[in-house]
């Protein structure tokens, strides 16, 4: 045998050997899992503390279970995502995908991640869509989606949008550019706070299953491991926890609250955003968090006053203004910077062992009710056998400070303890919306690296 033929035979044997090695084992030699996804509240988005999302968290846990690091790539549509998967550019796709059954032979499909139902949605002010009585009314959907397959069986006029994701179509409906679409209940719940003029409509009685896809370019070992992982997470409750966090138990506000917030984002925030950013740069606090506090305090009204004597955008007391060397509480620049400095001062009083989000929520509660009353609530929490260093435990005891049975036993006495609980929850809500708005405005997604420093400077 010639040397060339011998070399060719050796290469062929090497290739065949690699093909016989399960994909999971090959990935473990590189340490990386390539994952295709889209920017979405249910897949992957840039949250307050970095990348977040139901599938982002789940895929991260799956990869770590395989001793791999996930490398997410954001695609504009699910069609583009699946194309990358079919060519072997990515090993896995997790983009809140509801596969179209007649295409499933082109890739391996996991067991269900989320079960949901098809639901029509419409722009506020229009009546609910009824396919029986409104057959000529256009329903706008992404081209070649599961929605198209569902509606092809009905006498419905379809308006297909090429190169648009389901999320993009929902945003267009919310803007009033189109009037009706078919989506699913999970998407509507996830987008409810971001798209206030998007109204859920009638539901089709047919289950839909969100699944992960895997490249058939390789063997099925990665899909098989994913199925086992998803079954384990279903049994241990982790999947239910993620569904609750990102779909079922998102904070809700009524339409007027959401409408007014987005109206003020458009009309008032531009007057003060540079001041919030400057205060954020001076103090190291995310400017969007400062803006969320300012909205909760005054709805970004620089002339705001209350009967209790607090003033300005950040509603500072006279004592706080003196402490932070603020001469005019009605001056927006002074008020915002004074509020940011006061927040840092409050943070420094929280015990060093409290970290992460708990540090943030305790600091905000102190900003509202005062550190002394917060400490009283932590004392009550410890007395009742709960964790005084966890916000979720302490917030249940704060309202007890208004009852004599409890406030008479602590150092700082009576307080309206329910107020800081609502205060913190409202700021969490506004902060999340501002982060979403800022990311969309700047074209950022979960592949972007945020450069903002956080309030929890002790981390």
- Chain mean position to CA 459: 21
What phi and psi, each to the nearest 5 degrees, are found at residue 322? -65, -45
Burial of 161 (0-12, 13-18, 19+ CB in 10 A): middle
Give the CA distances from residue 379 to residues 181, 372, 409, in Å, rounded to whole numbers and listed in that order. Answer: 52, 11, 10
Other CB atoms closer than 10 Å to residue 221's CB: what's the count?
A: 17
The 8-class DSSP code of residue 383 comes to H
Catalytic residue among 48, 91, 297, 375: 297
If you search the block for the tokens 């929490």, which residue do you land on? 381
CA-atom Rg of the chain in angstroms: 26
- Angle at 139 (CA atoms; ends 161, 179), nearest 5 degrees: 95
Other CB atoms closer than 10 Å to residue 339's CB: what's the count?
A: 27
Other CB atoms closer than 10 Å to residue 10's CB: what's the count?
A: 10
297 has catalytic annotation: yes
CA distance 307 to 145: 56
The 8-class DSSP code of residue 378 comes to H
If you search the block for the tokens 């949605």, which residue do you land on? 121
Give the CA distances from residue 424 to residues 7, 294, 394, 412, 443, in Å, rounded to whole numbers and listed in that order. Answer: 69, 13, 12, 21, 28
DSSP for 149-179, written as a single string:
HHHHTSS-EEEEETT--HHHHHHHHHTTSS-
Burial of 372 (0-12, 13-18, 19+ CB in 10 A): middle
Other CB atoms closer than 10 Å to residue 345's CB: what's the count?
A: 16
Angle, helix 287-298 to helix 418-442, in steps of 10 degrees: 130
Residue 81 CB contacts under 8 Å (≥ 6 apart), including other chains: 36, 37, 38, 75, 90, 93, 95, 97
User: Three-state SS for 69?
Assistant: strand
The answer to whether 162 and 144 are in contact (CB under 8 A) is: no
Active-site residues, by number, are 297
């Amino acid at each position: 045998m010639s040397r060339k033929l011998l070399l060719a035979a050796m290469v062929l044997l090497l290739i065949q050997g690699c093909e016989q090695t399960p994909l999971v084992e090959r990935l473990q030699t590189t340490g990386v899992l390539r994952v295709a996804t889209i920017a979405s509240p249910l897949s992957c988005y840039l949250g307050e503390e970095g990348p977040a999302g139901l599938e982002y968290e789940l895929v991260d846990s799956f990869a770590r279970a395989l001793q791999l690091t996930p490398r997410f790539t954001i695609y504009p549509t699910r069609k583009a995502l699946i194309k990358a998967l079919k060519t072997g550019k990515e090993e896995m796709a997790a983009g809140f995908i509801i596969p179209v059954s007649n295409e499933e032979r082109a890739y391996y499909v996991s067991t269900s991640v989320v079960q949901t139902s098809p639901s029509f949605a419409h722009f506020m002010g229009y009546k609910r869509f009824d396919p029986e009585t409104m057959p000529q009314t256009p329903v706008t959907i992404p081209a070649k989606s599961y929605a198209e397959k569902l509606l092809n069986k009905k006498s419905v006029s379809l308006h297909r949008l090429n190169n648009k994701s389901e999320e993009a179509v929902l945003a267009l409906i919310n803007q009033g550019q189109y009037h009706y679409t078919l989506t699913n209940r999970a998407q509507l719940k996830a987008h409810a706070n971001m798209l206030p003029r998007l109204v859920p409509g009638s539901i089709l009685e047919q289950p839909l299953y969100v699944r992960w896809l895997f490249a058939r370019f390789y063997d099925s070992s990665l899909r098989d491991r994913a199925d086992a992982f998803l079954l384990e997470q279903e049994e241990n409750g982790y999947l239910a926890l993620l569904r609750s966090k990102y779909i079922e138990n998102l904070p809700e506000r009524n339409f007027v609250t959401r409408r007014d917030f987005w109206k003020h984002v458009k009309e008032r925030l531009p007057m003060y955003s540079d001041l919030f950013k400057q205060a954020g740069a001076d103090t190291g606090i995310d400017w969007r968090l400062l803006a969320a506090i300012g909205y909760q305090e005054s709805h970004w009204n620089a002339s705001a006053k209350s009967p209790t004597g607090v003033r300005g955008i950040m509603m500072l007391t006279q004592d706080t203004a003196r402490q932070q060397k603020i001469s005019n509480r009605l001056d927006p620049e002074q008020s915002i910077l004074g509020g940011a400095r006061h927040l840092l001062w409050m943070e420094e009083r929280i015990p060093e062992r409290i970290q992460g989000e708990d540090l943030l929520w305790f600091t905000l509660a102190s900003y509202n009710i005062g550190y002394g009353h917060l400490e009283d609530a932590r004392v009550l929490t410890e007395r009742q056998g709960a964790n005084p260093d966890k916000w979720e435990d302490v917030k249940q005891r704060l309202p007890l400070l208004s009852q004599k049975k409890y406030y008479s036993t602590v150092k700082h006495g009576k307080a309206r303890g329910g107020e800081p609980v609502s205060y913190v929850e409202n700021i969490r809500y506004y902060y999340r919306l501002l982060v979403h708005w800022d990311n969309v405005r700047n074209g950022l997604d979960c592949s972007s690296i945020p450069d903002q420093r956080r309030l929890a400077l002790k981390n």
